[in-house]
Structure 1
Amino acid sequence: MKNICVYCGSNPGRLEAYADGARALAKALVDRDLGLVYGGASVGIMGLIANSVLQLGGRAVGVIPEALKRKEIEHTGLTELHVTRSMHERKTLMADLSDGFIALPGGIGTLEEIFEVWTWAQLGFHAKPCGLLNVAGYYDGLTTFLDHTVAEQFVRPGHRSTLMVEPTPDALLDRFASYQAPTVQKWVEKGQT
């Protein structure tokens, strides 16, 4: 692995623990010589993780759509900054540049992005690891709900297990390092196992 895509909030969130989690993830990435790929903004948790990676001597690659660049929230001190025409192009490029995907605490955009790449993994469009960094229990409610989707037989256990959840960056990145994409059938006819 060379680069990890990190999805995270353009707001700082309520708890200082979220910033601490971003800093810890930045350190873990730099310690493992993994580059950061992220949304290219200079604000919120997004700006914090990029600044932390850069201050530690790491690589930070931003991908931002033109519409957000015009709002002057782009980070101008990155290793690389790619400007795209649309959000769809942004997400595709971020995926292409990355060898794994992590969601830090964030809002609707963060959730949408991690769910999209996790869906792509389920469909076999890529074999890259996906995970939630569960800082201060931020994703506890979501993981309970995802387990419920398995119990209700809308998500197969093998697919659910491909979204890893860990409380620390090192635990999550250790799992990423040994990740093998499962071979789980997506569709099963009624009556088949």
Structure 2
Amino acid sequence: MNLKYEVITEDQINLCRDLCNELMDFQKSKAHITPELFDSMNFETRMIPSVKSAIHNYIVIVKDDEEIVGYVYSNVSPKKAYSNNFATFFDLSSVGKDNVGCLSQFYLKDGYRKYGIGSVLFNMSMEWLNQFTDVEDYFIYVSNGNTDALEFYTRKGFTVSHDILDGFITVLRKKQNCKSSTSCQHN
């Protein structure tokens, strides 16, 4: 492998189109609770609106030679953006500041998992998110059936907060600079 990590701009998000659509297919293949909800989820309905509604966006792609084999998309958004027609993702009153950080999308092609690439992308995202003083709550949303992702994020210090949409999504949460999982738990 000849890996290169590259931060891209919002104008370059089309580079993530195919991988974002693969991510939606992957999530549907793992889901055991209402997998049909993924039928309408794709690059146009998930990534583009998220990028447009965020205050700050951070997108990193990883290439093996010139082939894009993974990406991570994180953002800082107003907390009110997480209460919409689809779902209320967390109790807005439990977040003290107006904005939240979110590791929104994360995908590696099959064959590139288990080599530490995900940890590099995760660490880059968290380093980026930690620079914002107006954010103290970080969220990650894991689709049902994706136990590998759930275990990965809990090993990285996130705790399961709650489920939404009858278990379709598990919400993970972490406070900024929180070191101990027992002092970081939320309702």
- State the TM bucket, normalised to the shorter chain: 0.3 to 0.5
Higher strand share: 2
Structure-2-length-normalised TM-score:
0.33
When Rg is computed on C-alpha atoms for both structures, the one with the higher figure is 1
Higher helix share: 1
Structure-1-length-normalised TM-score:
0.33
